[in-house]
Each structure stands twice: as C-alpha cells, then as structure tokens.
Amino acid sequence: MNEPNSTGQARAHGAIPGSAEPGIPGPTVVVFDYGSGNVRSAVRALERVGAAVTLTADPVAALACDGLFVPGVGNFHACLAGLREADGPRIIDVRLAGGRPVFGVCVGMQVLFDGSTEPAETTYAGLGEWPGLVSRLQAPVVPHMGWSTVDVGAGSRLFAGVEAERFYFVHSYAAQQWLLVPDGPFERVAPVVTWAEHGSRFVAAVENGPLSATQFHPEKSGDAGAVLLENWVKSL
C-alpha cells in the first residue's frame, strides 16, 4: 500500500502534538501485534503524542494497559483469523466489559461489526460489538485510497480541533449503514458516528464509550491524525 504524503495538509491548531512532559510517563498503550502488519507506523504515531507504547500480542499486557490499539489491514476474514489465534476477541470483550478503552483502525474497525461480505476461502463472523455488515464500496473507483474530509458526529471528542481536516483512507469495504440507534433513556449515551463519502456514505469513525474506531488510518494522517490520537491518549 502506498504511504500517504501529508505535504500541503492543513496543520491542526497550528501546532504539531508533542510527547508527554519529560519525566512524566504517558498512558500505557499496547499496539496489538496479532499479525496484521503495518504496526510500526502506529507505534511511532502513538509515541509521538505521549503514549508509552508496547508492541505485543501478550494477553496479560493487552488486558493491563490503559489503552488497547487494534490495527488491521488486508482481508476481513484473515484479520479475524489472526485475532482469534491471539485470543483477541476475548481480550477485547473483557476490556470493554470493564470499561477499558479499545481503539480499532481500518479492518480493526470492520471486525467490530457482525460480519463482512468480503470473499475469503474461510469466512468468520465479526465480533458483533455493533450490528450490521461491512460491504464493498459502491463507487466508480475502488479501493478508496487518499485524503478525504469527514462529517463529524455531534459531540465528538475524538475529532476535537480537527473537525474540518482530511484523513488518509485506503480500503475497499466499509460499514455503509449504522443500525445501533438507542432510544428512551439510552439516547444520552448513543454512539457518536462520523461519516465519509466515496461513491456513497460510509461510517468513518465511531465513539461508543470505551470503544472507538476509525476506518481511516490516523497514524498515516499527518498532523490531523496526530491530534486525533492525542485526543484519545489524553482520555485514557
């Protein structure tokens, strides 16, 4: 996959996020190394905004850290196979049951839905944290690869300060419907859903209590992505 070039991208807040103050350790973050690849850029991006990062698939570390970052590239079902082998579904489930933050990126977001129509020799159900299926983008050109703006959901904390910025996408599949619509007393804790468009609208990000996810790659989204990651790290 091509690495994005952020040259010319507007700088969020006019400043590049920095690391934690010298001598003050940042929140601990595990980048879950379950074989999805493309993890070093995530480690560097999180370190840049002040997190104390460990790249590992160790379940003890993944359960104990302040924040678990779940990357994902490639085929939906291949990523799920890797997650299953590393006990990822149980780790994610235990963390969320205890209100411990989890952040999924790209296919690491897609696997949080019920499933995907993406073909594979062996198919798996998704983790079912959110209802609905991931399906192929309906657009003249697929994959969607490049910088796009997003329609930020009301009340977003993840996008604070970067609501008008562009983020780097590279994907052929996405969730194109949002089916979890709480009513009654649960409306006040309804997930914040952010959308983007490529041919048609699709879910670009979700903030759902301790569970956050983006279809785009914040670690490859220049200064805007750094601000978004810093917002998450500061919430841990």
Residue corresponding to tokens 């209802």 = 131
Q: Specify whether 65 is catalytic.
A: no
> Which is the catalytic residue, given 106, 144, 198, 207?
106
Residues 12-34, buried b or exposed e (16+ Cβ, 10 A)?
beeeebeebeeeeebbbbbbbbb
> Which is the catalytic residue, given 129, 207, 219, 230?
219
> Which is the catalytic residue, given 129, 207, 217, 230?
217
Residues marked active site are found at: 106, 217, 219
